[in-house]
Amino acid sequence: MKANGFIVAALSAASLLLAGCSDSGRIGSEELLNAEADSANWITYGRTYSEQRFSPLDQINTGNVDQLGLAWFADMDTARGQEATPLVIDGKLYLTTAWSKVKAFDGASGKLLWEYDPQVPGETAAKACCDVVNRGLATWGDKLFLGTLDGRLIALERDSGKVIWEKQTTDPEKSYTITGAPRVIDGKVLIGNGGAEFGVRGYIAAYDAKDGDELWRFYTVPDEPSDDDPEYLKAAAETWSGEWWKLGGGGTVWDAMAYDPDLDLLYIGVGNGSPWNRAYRSPGEDGTGDGDNLYLSSIVAIRPDSGEYVWHYQTTPGETWDYTATQHIMLADLEIDGKPRKVLMQAPKNGFFYVIDRETGKFISGQPYIPQSWALGIDENGRPIENPEARTEKTGKPALVMPGPLGGHNWHPMAYHPGEGLVYIPAFEAASIYAPLKGWKPDPKRGFNVGYDLGAGDLPPDPQIRKQVYGTVRGKLLAWDPVAQKARWEVEHAGPWNGGVLATGGGLVFQGNSSSEFNAYDAANGAKLWSFPAQTGVVAPPVTYTIAGEQYVAVLAGWGGAYAITADGGLIDDAKPVQNISRLLVFKLGAAGKLPPQPDLAKLPLDPPPSRANAETIALGKQKYARYCAVCHAPAAVGSTVLPDLRRSGTLQSRDTFLQVVRGGMLQDRGMVSFAESLTETEADAIRAYIIARANEDKAAGLD
């Protein structure tokens, strides 16, 4: 039968009424295949294999959502970004938090049942591009499966949190990380990894749920060509040039997956190149970059039993802008031109919304969902019509390109409402300057290896200019019609980096935002029907479930992630900076719970020592800061509210203390590792001089 636009196995009327897991509480193929009918639980990342994030529950609806109140909350023990989707199984809620920790709660009362800390070493933070986040768990049998930041896959006993087995899935000597949620298909646990900015080679692998044995591994980019390579990698190698394998290649599978059981196809999203700048990764005969570089920025269909390649569609051939295709992949059955089509939908970073035939991988349609300048459109074969000026690796000149590396849509999950026929996209508009670096060399130890000047877009110490630029960075909730390929309505947000989305049978769309609100909108027209002051930015997606016939909505709150750790927190929202207060929030009708009073944001004074370094030293410090520091401590050292604002650091007062932190690794347990292998003492001292100069500029400009 059809349910919510996706074909699932037929269920008896009795099982539909029960809408729960098996009597034993074990999760197997039957439960996962029939998850659409199980409205009580949320047993896989996107609720179903189709990843639609739609629940038919309608107890909470447009007519009574204004009566929604806080049922309970639970504080997390980390003050870093929270991105996880909870799982709910037979009244128990399971979630991951920052640093790959796991917690289990009673879903009705909020009682903590157990917790698990995998003890990820603090120094692993230096390998993570975008905060020490984790996006969730998978389940099979009586186990939960967790991917850790340091590359382990861990099986936990669901009732107790006890470790059953763990496997190291990545090379610990390289800068691999895991932040995404695993998936399970027929007893095979699937997990990818991240790290393309640091020079790794991407892959996805399958592990036996019973014992963790690796069953297969699918690489997304070719290694040094060999006669033993599988055919799909031999074909890919023809689209590369030079000695790309020495730089890793990239193509990490760090988030999106979906599965069609009828076609027996697993769909994965593949990430950006390493380095970003194609001229260094795949130089071509003229050294300015050449080739499509498969399977970067592609959706790839493989067989989950064997890892066999079936088809691919590349959204951004020859990617050079960090335009990943790792964003949410969603499956649905749509009527297009009067015919039913099995489709795959994605709104990747590059700003186009794609509808693809999921049987064949053939392009059906694609239109921009945000304004963009890198491409003029998509041709009839599904290939982008590029703007030559955006090909900075070819021109050798800087260019302001829309979207920038954060994309028009990032990891935040979309949702699909089959009744409305709409996909709800957490979108935003943020351009960036791509400035090629001549003579760039990779650093295998530390820092982003992207081949661009990450300081080219630094803003001057002028509050009006900064506010004007930040004012052009827009966030929005888009209700997108995938058949007509246009927005039906949109809600403008005060800032970007807004939360993942949930759609329900009650005619509602739930989403948090960077203005510290958790909101419910009318799915038909976008009218805001309810709002809760969450006291912190909400970037994670909500879920909904029932216990004893009562519907709950839960969301993990906590400001963090790529934008949050690099943006000037005071300029995201004119009213107040966004701070991290990591909590699980759970709501139901008629509840009247309250949060504790919101604490004031602790902010050290902007009181730097005098700037006495010469211009040459400060310029060197600016260059090295952009390469090694900006990704965590914000461009131009403007500071964020999640990680330390270096302009206010007490280490600026003492050269020796600063060097002990930067080169000595004095704070490595907190994630601030030693950069001694990448930065000389002179270079580290120049970074200090640059931060002092910036702090004095901002103090003089009144940017305190």
Strand stretches in 209-248, DSSP E: 214-219
- How far from chain centre, in Å, is Cα 91? 28
Which long-range CB contacts under 8 A does 110-119 form with residues at least 24 apart? 110/71, 110/72, 110/73, 110/74, 110/586, 112/74, 114/160, 114/161, 115/161, 116/156, 116/161, 116/163, 118/146, 118/148, 118/152, 118/154
**Which run of H or of E encompasses 295?**
none
Q: Which residues are catalytic?
A: 322
Enumerate residues 6+ apart whose C-beta is below 8 A from 188: 206, 207, 208, 209, 215, 304, 305
d(CA 82, CA 77): 11
CB 43 within 8 A of CB 89: yes
Other residues' Cβ atoms within 10 Å of the Cβ of residue 243: 11
52 within 8 A of 331, measured Cβ to Cβ: yes
Is the Cβ–Cβ distance between 617 and 688 less than 8 Å?
no
Residue 542 sits at the vertex; the CA angle it makes with 270 and 304, to the nearest 5 degrees, is 35
DSSP characters over 551-611: EEEEEEE---STTTTTS-HHHH-SS-------EEEEEEET--B-PPPPPP-------PPP-
Exposure on the CB side of residue 456, measured as CA atoms within 13 A:
17
Q: Give the whole-angstrom CA distance, residue 301 versus residue 297.
A: 13
- Tokens representing 196? 């393309």
Per the DSSP assignment, residues forming a β-bridge with 95 are: 103
**How many CB atoms lie under 10 A from the CB of residue 37?**
21
Name the nearest CA neighbour of 433 among 397, 466, 408, 467: 397
Query: What type of residue is 278?
Result: R
CB 530 within 8 A of CB 65: yes
Three-state SS letters, 612-658? CCCHHHHHHHHHHHHHHCHHHHCHHHCCCCCCCCHHHCHHHHCHHHH
Please answer whether residues 325 and 299 qualify as being in contact, where contact means their C-beta atoms are separated by less than 8 angstroms.
Answer: yes
* 619 vs 655: CA distance, rounded Å: 18
d(CA 497, CA 538): 9
